[in-house]
Structure 1
Amino acid sequence: MSDKNKGKVTLYLMRHGQTILNKAGRTQGWCDGVLTKEGIEVAVNTGLGLSDVKFKAVYSSDLGRAIKTAQIVIKENKASGDLELKEFEGLREVYFGKYEGEFEKIKFKAILDFLNVTSFEEMAEKYDFQRAYCDSCAALDETHEAEDYNTALKRFVTTINNICIENEEDGGGNILIVVHGGMLRVFIEHLDKNFDIRNMDNSSISKVAYENGKFKVESVNDSSYSEKGKAMRQILK
């Protein structure tokens, strides 16, 4: 492929809409909750806010909450024509093993106790937070199924790289990828530690540019598209 055919790829990394497990404060990695009424509404708002963005392609993880969110955005998009959703297992959330479906506060306490710290703030001071978080879950999981940091990051980055290379060689463009909050934190911190990744709101957008084999984080946890869509809906009432 000639370099002249290559183009910049802009990834619109969207976290899925709120689910019943999110709302209940339960751990949600590979286990899957349906979107709440509010989750659907905010996803529609974000879809409307993105409706004038011409997407070249749309991808999601193969988990239902990400698929449903992506389908909502595709339905609301007016600028792109026909978009076919492509689902990849490699875009899944981190797998938390025995903690799947568990109350998050129970998992959080287990991690803090394992690392011998009293708070996430202390944990962030003493450890590489995202790595310690994933590795602690894996170490505490007697089923030996939970993913450690390196395993989760490798499969996600490999999948994202393949998506970027394919689209870069086809002229570049805007790409929507609907994924998950924990995996987004791991990925973005891996690329650039200067962004605040503590909050990754449902249906928020984080933009990452890819060009000539290099990633650049442009924005994180942007809810302006949702706010724009909400305003559009009020005008239409």
Structure 2
Amino acid sequence: MAVVHFYLVRHGQTKLNRQVRLQGITDSPLTKKGIRMARRLGYELRKIKFRAVFTSDLKRTQDTAKYILEENLQRIPPIYRDPDLRELSFGRFEEAHNFEVIPQALRTLGIRKIIRAFLNEEHVGELIKIFRTMDGTEKIEDSAHLYSRFSRALKLIGNEYQDEECNILIVTHGLILSNFIESLCGDVPVFLLDNSRASLVDYQDGKFKIRYINQLEDLNEKTRN
């Protein structure tokens, strides 16, 4: 089967991102900076011919995809929404300010456990554990379920388009995307993948392979058609 090149993108900055508040299933609009970020990435990817585009069912990903495609020089591909690409819900911590969450984490877990979590090679998974522990209801997905949901979506998409080598744009969210990359043994920044940066992951015969993480497209790289 042919290789499917997944361009995995976190949405542009939103109002809740700017306010340093947790944003899971809450749908906050893009800021002016977020729009500029999406357009910047779109310009970097302007020569890439995308066969299809998939976003989550939250508007911030759909808007980011729209601004990326407005810069593209190729034929505009079909755009689909997939709920499996939606961000993790933070439960009762939705929209909470970081300055409110940190004291809660310190009281619940203690400073040593938090430091160990961030020093862990799988710090994204540890971060999810922290929120599950603080929430105490198990309504927040664990990292394994989050990976399963996201990888299932990509495999379904990849299997559908494996008849020929192609590029697929995926616009999703910071935590679910960072968790996926970390699960593939990728190096994820401490504060997750950046807004409107691409990670390129190839898919073939049911397997994923990381090409690069959290960067703008290399303009010197041969354009994929």
What is the TM-score normalised by the length of structure 1?
0.84
- Select the residue among 88, 92, 96 that pairs with 2:82: 88
1:133 match: 127
* Deviation of the 1:120 alpha carbon: 5.1
Structure 1 residues 131 and 196 mapped into 2: Cα distance closer, same or farther (>3 Å)?
Answer: closer
- Determine helix, strand or coil for the equivalent of 2:8: strand
Q: How many equivalent residue pairs? A: 218
- Select the residue among 30, 42, 47 that pairs with 2:25: 30
**Is the aligned partner of 1:71 residue 2:71?**
no
- Determine helix, strand or coil for the equivalent of 1:163: helix
Q: Aligned partner of 1:48: which letter?
A: Y
Structure 2 distance, partners of 1:127, 1:172, is 33
* Deviation of the 1:96 alpha carbon: 0.9
Structure 2 distance, partners of 1:146, 1:107, is 15
User: Retained in 1: the 8 A contact 2:194–2:214?
Assistant: yes
2:213 match: 220
Structure 1 residues 222 and 105 mapped into 2: Cα distance closer, same or farther (>3 Å)?
Answer: same
1:40 match: 35
2:16 match: 21
Q: Which residues in structure 2 correspond to 1:1-237 (within 5 Å)?
A: 6-79=1-74, 81-118=75-112, 121-125=115-119, 128-142=122-136, 144-168=138-162, 170-193=163-186, 195-198=187-190, 199-224=192-217
Runs of 4+ deviating beyond 4 Å: 118-121
- Determine helix, strand or coil for the equivalent of 1:52: coil
Structure 1 distance, partners of 2:54, 2:26, is 19
User: Retained in 1: the 8 A contact 2:41–2:196?
Assistant: yes
User: Retained in 1: the 8 A contact 2:44–2:216?
Assistant: no
- Determine helix, strand or coil for the equivalent of 2:28: coil
Structure 1 residues 144 and 206 mapped into 2: Cα distance closer, same or farther (>3 Å)?
Answer: same
Q: Aligned partner of 1:203: which letter?
A: S
Structure 1 unaligned segments of length 5 or more: list them.
Answer: 1-5, 229-237
What is the TM-score normalised by the length of structure 2?
0.88
Q: Aligned partner of 2:68: which letter?
A: V
- Determine helix, strand or coil for the equivalent of 2:53: strand
Structure 2 distance, partners of 1:129, 1:153, is 14
Identical columns (%): 34
Structure 2 unaligned segments of length 5 or more: list them.
Answer: 220-225
User: Retained in 2: the 8 A contact 1:61–1:178?
Assistant: yes
Structure 1 distance, partners of 2:133, 2:188, is 26
Say which structure is richer in helix.
1
User: Retained in 2: the 8 A contact 1:97–1:147?
Assistant: no
